[in-house]
Structure 1
């Protein structure tokens, strides 16, 4: 959530940054400032009336001690009028504050100066590429055929159990999935990320604090009886560990990692290429999250990008890193880098990770702060990234490593999988 003082003091700049995101309601900035003006006027009137009550209450006591009952009664009448006014002002302030917050949460984060202008994925910038695209043998198949032949994933039974988009991993497919999860967690913890297994449902306050509400309400599965939301990513519960928290400056940066299943009603990429594991409603992901000093958040972002890049290199997958344009970024992000791996069988790039800096947008909602060396309270910055999302990693691994003898397992993964090939 943006801070009102920033909207007020840098109004034109805020609107310019929102235009980079192709935000269609810049007038909300003016509406927020007007509501804040109204709130301040009401607060001033409230303070004046309360001051009159406090002053009169003291005078009433003095008059009563002096035996001036008539004077005391007159002041009591004034106090009663002021109390009625205070009650009315309190109700008005509550209503204005509610409208202010409801309007404020409609504004997305402001894009960093490095974010390119643009509206669609075609406007994203390729930062760099790595790895070698494999040349497959004649007759190589996409993963949706491979998983059937090798009995790795059973979509039909998953659909019977739950519905379309809920895969059932079986046999060596289940083992490969488990191997990837353990490898990713070990890789992250070795780099200093503290591991959690969080709840897989969150309450409304948690979803609001990380920016899923109200922006992504339609994408989340909602357990209405208890008003819990199934998580779209471990970012939500893990970041909320530090909701309403004042951390020690000496404890920053805080690095966290977590495995979780993820649930999304509208998951995956746009377009027709949504077969197999390319687009599912339940999937597994390993997340990395950092809570950092605001002076260090862009160094932390660079470190997280390099961390994910090295992980992809260890899997021997061809990849590229994209800096997303303003129109393609998520609601809460100040800047986002996507990682894509190349699927040789599908002949297309598949997104497998996003690494984002939210700056103070999330932590303002979270109220995650620290006291600096001068004793001033400041907001921390928060970042998160996928390290990694499983479905498309699984798909690209089996597609790119298929041979006529079977599917070769990358060397780094073999100790976890317990074999060098799936056949």
Structure 2
């Protein structure tokens, strides 16, 4: 397993993951899983998705709170006060009041509208954040899926190599017993078999670890006994830089999120400026009051004009802070666009390199297979030597492992490109 794949697998294993309470374990032993099914299970079980959805619910509740300012407020008020009008304390009386008061903002120069728009835009940004979270989860599943397929192919190569070295040892012992080959051939074959067994043990451990990583990425740490569909290893999707960049700048959910935040920040600047403007509130009330029972019935209606004259420069600082937030988000958007371009170019470069390596290793496999057949045939005929067989079988094992690694790297690079352009589903 190459360093690139080991790094991805280590990252997957380090991410804490637990199945939510009540979640089912939908994978049955012997079941054949394809990539789409693995992705679906991850999106259903991953707690990060639920957290992002809850964030959207918080945003929607804030939208509801902002809408509430368009409705009148109705309050019931009641109070009791005891007054003393003389210093000697002899002239005292009680005052009782109970009333229902309705108040409504009549004019605020668009403050309510701006507040509502800000909350709506923020909630839209939360929705894009959910898509971004899902994209990361999908990429994690894809990486783990292809790493596991690579581990399976490597383990199969290791098992086959052990079998061929076992056959070679049997031949060497047979030749030695009839006096055709020296004891060195037997000893050399035993050493080669031991090394092959060690490689098989390492390959089996890599496979176990890879499956743990895939289970973790799917959110099913206890899943076992399933079989992965390897047909996707051999698929190829062409791409070019201009088209990939265009799709990335149009689709990336993190870029869409920051754009929504930019719109909200622009609206926040306008809202802060409206702190200089007056607002008009209407009020109406009906109730009972008096010094003694029965209380006198009464009502009132009126309007209030509130003109801000001085607030300790609060509005000025609010406007400055809103503008600074807006400029910060603009800088973040520019930085993110640069990062997206870098990710796309790197993914395309990795994909190109993996494809070229795949073609080169495929040729190497064919050559190694031919070389192994020749070396084993020569030894079977009694004219070869064990070193030729060892070199040929080791070369064949390395070539097949390198080819499997190139196949997995192609698909992981393709997954990286899909994530970079915002098309992970």
TM class by shorter-chain length? under 0.3
Q: Which has the higher helix share?
A: 2
Say which structure is richer in strand.
1
Q: Pick 1 or 2: higher relative contact order, CA cutoff 8 A, min separation 6.
A: 2
Q: When the two structures are superposed, what TM-score results if normalisation uses the length of structure 2?
A: 0.22
Instruction: Tell me the TM-score normalised to structure 1 length.
Output: 0.22
Larger Rg: 2
